[in-house]
């Protein structure tokens, strides 16, 4: 008999950041991508996905809306509500 187990998304090592500075993608008049940094309002977690399930969850989020690349340091910035909801659905 096969037993399926539910894998939890813990994002261990996450920490909260308020109004972070992120890398933002724009397009110039010729249609070429340009990148700059800007501060965005809100509370975010800096997360470090540790397994396939966490990576898949992050991939499903909308870039430059739900998740951002930090202007400095490692990890991925994700809106706190999107991580907090995982603990309520566990």
- pLDDT per residue as tens digits for the range 43-73: 999 999 999 999 999 999 999 999 999 999 9
pLDDT(31) > 80 = yes
Q: How many whole angstroms separate alpha carbon 39 and alpha carbon 56?
A: 26
pLDDT(1) > 80 = no
- For residue 10, the model assigns a pLDDT of 85
Q: How many whole angstroms separate alpha carbon 41 and alpha carbon 72?
A: 16
Distance of CA 6 to the CA centre of its chain: 22
This prediction has a pTM of 0.85
> Strands 67-70 and 21-27, how do they pair?
antiparallel
């Amino acid at each position: 008999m096969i037993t399926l187990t539910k894998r939890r998304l813990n994002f261990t090592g996450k920490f909260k950041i308020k109004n972070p500075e992120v890398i933002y993608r724009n397009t110039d008049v010729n249609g070429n991508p340009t990148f700059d940094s800007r501060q965005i309002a809100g509370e975010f977690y800096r997360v470090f996905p540790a397994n396939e399930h966490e990576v898949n969850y992050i991939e499903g989020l909308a870039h430059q809306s739900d998740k951002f690349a930090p202007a400095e340091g490692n990890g991925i910035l994700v809106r706190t509500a999107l991580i907090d909801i995982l603990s309520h659905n566990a």
